[in-house]
Structure 1
């Protein structure tokens, strides 16, 4: 029988100081199936503290005495961690290289990635695991685009020579060795890459909360923890701001159907949230609601446009050429609406309108007011449309747009930005709280 293998990722809040790192190490060593570990840079130790990565960005943008002052504070934090763990090691050479890299224009991404690099060096030494530099595993092309196939091959080759290893998250390398970082949350992606490349049975993502919340606790009091959610549902919620796990982190796992377990380092025995490909009858209800401000709607009207695929294709081509990607599309017989971040059309609105008019000759092209989008996910949310409208109508909240989804377990609605929090509270009370 094949022994179970797990990939594990620890976030910055779980590695913020020596005590936290010791706790994370105990979690790893308590289960021998935890073989491959991805780490973030140390995060905030207390409210008002600064994340190491933010300090590195500040240092990179500074010069002279300010640069050396920030770097001294960063080194002091790592030295404090090393001392607190009683490790016989030093990062003096690594910080000398960092100064050399700043003077020789190694780049912003190189600088930003050193928090993960230093943390992985420390954590691997404390665990007695191998250290594998992410630059040898994760590949980006000359244009900076992530290369998933090559990454999986390189990562599998590196891991094949190690039974237990720690890999820094957040970055990889381009041809020629230049370092390139993912977006914020990239360490989640690194952990998923390890899980996929090693053929793991599970990917554990350890953070400072006991799973994925069914709504933002800043908006809803004591929201329910989601016990099980699908990859697609999680991606929809994460895109709308539910920030426990980066939405792209499950992409490397989807084809292999590797489940993700979101766990809490401060409460390791809590069941957390399980992220899977298919729910199989478990938790057959609405499981999550998330919303975000900052969107606008472009509404285009023309006779039979809703059934004219050529017109839709032409509109999408115009938007693509102007670098605008809709996040939601809804249509009727004679009107079609595209929703996208309002920042996407700053300085482009007049061009987009004139180009659409030139290629499809619509009756009208109008930009609606700024709006917020709310995503509702779970088993068959389309069957709850009447409840959704009822809950919002009771609070006198008008629905601006509706995207009923395409079989991916979600519905997205648009409301006025000022009504976002009230709408989420009303929907949570109607769709989730009543079923608790």
Structure 2
């Protein structure tokens, strides 16, 4: 069995966290592939190394003094090395970086990637594993897409040669060898891509939470942890705000059915949440509740709309032209609702309304801008009439009107729209009824 263990910045913030990671790795001989993020915050008021490197690059570009920032970065890595009594010549690596900065011969991608690079050097020495640079494994085409064939060849060659490896996350390289960063949170993607390439048995994502919660802890007191969830359910919850890992990290392992286990570095005995392609029987009718505030519903009215071929297509083209993502499209006979985020139209709402009215020859457009969406997600919802009844009965009992009701074709989720001011009350009541009763 092969397990890939990815550790985020909170798991690697200082030497005490490194010791926890080593204990976790040594407790299971199957954990032979390790992916690391850059050093994270030690305390809430602290800075992530990645953030400091971005700031350093900005200062370099605008000829602003950066010595204080650099000294903070320098000291963080040296302190971890010295506290753990490692042999890594970290000063030499740091000196190379600052010389490139001084000469302005460093790209933002290269500079920021050094956070993961240096962290991986320290971790590989601490574990006694082989350091393998991500630029030698994670290959990109020049169009920015992953070269999956090359990644598989390079990853398997490195693993076959060394057996136990540590790879920095968050970056890879173009065919030229130039460093390419991923989007923020990209170490999750590195872990996923590498897990797929090596066809590992389990991808463990170690962070500072013991898995995915069934509800938002800012609204619900001590929500339950989801023990098992499908990739499809996770996608639904993530889309509505339940973000635990980078969304782009899901597809590579989902396609080859590698299970993902989200674990807590600070509570390694907790089983966390296992995500797989297999639907399992669960204790509750639902898997979780998530949601977001600040949506707008544009309700388009037009007589004989249902008889007009291509009406929806022309409507979608207008939103596409404005690069506005559509969240939901509840429809009637002579009306259609277009639900979008308020943020997406904060600068061009009136221009958009004018275009919709004139190009679609609408009778009327109604704007509902006090809208929050709540998603109740779970494979057990399929055909469960009693559950659907409970949801609407609960909202009725607390005096909350569902202005939007949308159920997915696969009956994996039910989305209801409520007023922003009623959002927390509705989420709390639904959780109490569907989970705690």
Please state how far the C-alpha of 1:377 moved relative to its aligned partner. Answer: 1.0
Match of 1:211? 211
Alignment partner of 1:429 is 2:427:
no
For the residues of structure 2 that align with 1:418 and 1:272, how far apart are their CA atoms?
33
Change (3 A) 1:278 1:87: same
- Structure 2 CA distance for partners of 1:166 and 1:379, relative to 1, 3 Å: same
Question: Using a 3 Å threshold, how does the CA distance of structure 1 residues 111 and 305 change in structure 2: closer, same or farther?
Answer: farther
Unaligned runs of 5+ in 1: none
How far, CA to CA, are the matches of 1:151 and 1:340 in structure 2? 38
Structure 2 CA distance for partners of 1:255 and 1:49, relative to 1, 3 Å? same
Note if 1:375 corresponds to 2:372.
no
Matches within 5 A, 1:131-280: 131-145=131-145, 151-152=151-152, 154-280=154-280
* Residues 1:417 and 2:420 are matched in the alignment: yes
Match of 2:391 in 1: 388
Q: Does 1:28 align with 2:33?
A: no
Determine the C-alpha separation between the residues in 1 that align with 2:394 and 2:109: 46
- 1:284 to partner: Cα distance: 5.5
8 Å Cα contact 1:36/1:194 also seen in 2:
no
- Report how far residue 276 of structure 1 moved: 1.1
| Structure 2 unaligned regions, length at least 5 | none
What secondary structure does 2:310 align onto?
helix
Q: Which residue of 2 aligns with 1:59?
A: 56
Q: Would you say 1:293 and 2:290 are equivalent positions?
A: no
CA distance in 2, matches of 1:260, 1:221: 26
Is 1:12 the equivalent of 2:15?
Answer: no
The residue number in structure 1 matching 2:92 is: 93
CA RMSD of superposed structures (Å) = 2.5
Equivalents in 2 of 1:408, 1:7: separation in Å? 33
With the length of structure 2 as denominator, give the TM-score of the two structures. Answer: 0.90
The whole-number CA distance in structure 2 between the counterparts of 1:122 and 1:223 is 36
| Distance across 1 between alignment mates of 2:176 and 2:92 | 23
**SS in structure 1 of the partner of residue 200 of structure 2:** coil
- The answer to whether the aligner puts 1:405 opposite 2:402 as a matched pair is no
How much does 1:106 deviate? 3.2
- For residue 425 of structure 1, report the CA deviation from its aligned partner: 0.8
Rg: which structure is higher? 2
In structure 2, the partner of 1:38 is 35
Partner Cα separation in structure 1 for residue 150 and residue 319 of structure 2? 31
What's the counterpart of residue 67 of structure 2?
A: 68
2:88–2:121 contact (8 Å) kept in structure 1:
no
Instruction: Summarize deviations over 1:165-189 as a string: whole Å, max 9, x none.
Output: 1111122234534433333322111
Shift in Å, 1:290? 1.4
Distance 1:158-1:375 versus aligned 2 partners, 3 A rule? farther
Cα drift, residue 62 of structure 1: 2.3
CA offset digits 1:243-284 (Å, max 9, x no partner): 322222211111111111111122222221111112133446
CA distance in 2, matches of 1:97, 1:169: 21
1:82 aligns with 2:90: no
